[in-house]
Amino acid sequence: MKLRKKSTVLLLAALASMVLMSGCGKAKIGYIDGNRVSKEAPQISAIVEEGNQKMQEEQTKSQQELQQKMQENPNMSQEDAQKAQMEAQRKLQGLNQSYALQLRQKLDVALGSVAKSKKLDAVVNNSQEQPVAITGAVDVTDDVIQQLQ
């Protein structure tokens, strides 16, 4: 019985110390409105516009190439046509990923800078449709937009 009491006391002491230590350092969280950042930050909107333009050009180019291949080879099998379409889609996906990576890198640099200057532990995207931070978080949207001028 004594061993059981000692185990219980030790367990309660460990639990109490964990509760006390977890309350000592509170996380400081910031949030941004991603929609505002994408509309108002010049660097982000420039990448988005360039990406959309390149995607449109690549899509047009791919369609023209496919039509040319079909004109050159009217007896092209359906399998070959599907392969050509899949290749065009892969090119578009690669281009899309490239621009998405550029956006992510620009945003990460700006968020890191703002988080460091404001001494934030985390920054989350808080859209109006799906709010993440309801109370207790700091709005840093304007600071991030300023970083992306």
pLDDT at residue 129, as a whole number:
72
Per-residue pLDDT averaged across 57-73, rounded? 85
pLDDT at residue 20, as a whole number:
46
Q: Which amino acid, 48?
A: V
What count of other Cβ atoms lies within 10 Å of the Cβ of residue 37?
21
Q: Number of C-alpha atoms within 13 angstroms, CB side, residue 145?
A: 16
Sheet with strand 122-125: strands edge to edge:
122-125, 29-32, 138-139
The helix (run of H) or strand (run of E) holding residue 28 is none
Per-residue pLDDT averaged across 60-70, rounded? 85
Question: What is d(CA 137, CA 134) in angstroms, rounded to the nearest whole number?
Answer: 7
> Computed from CA positions of residues 69, 75, 81, 84, in that sequence, does the dihedral angle turn out positive or negative?
negative
pLDDT at residue 19, as a whole number:
47
Per-residue pLDDT averaged across 47-59, rounded? 91
Percentage of residues of the chain with pLDDT beyond 90: 28
Q: Which band of pLDDT confidence, cut at 50, 70 and 90, is reported for residue 33?
A: confident
Q: Which band of pLDDT confidence, cut at 50, 70 and 90, is reported for residue 56?
A: very high
What count of other Cβ atoms lies within 10 Å of the Cβ of residue 108?
10
Per-residue pLDDT averaged across 45-73, rounded? 88
Q: What is the mean pLDDT of the chain?
A: 81
pLDDT at 7 over 90: no
pLDDT at residue 141, as a whole number:
85
Question: What is d(CA 140, CA 143) in angstroms, rounded to the nearest whole number?
Answer: 5
Tens digits of per-residue pLDDT, 98-138?
A: 999 999 999 999 999 999 999 988 888 877 777 776 677 88
Using DSSP bridges, classify how beta strands 122-125 and 138-139 pair: parallel, antiparallel or unpaired. unpaired
> Computed from CA positions of residues 85, 86, 88, 92, in that sequence, does the dihedral angle turn out positive or negative?
positive
pLDDT at 43 over 70: yes
Q: Delineate the domains of the chain, giving CATH numbers in brackets.
A: 2-147 (3.30.910.20)
Tokens 């709010």 belong to which residue?
Answer: 131
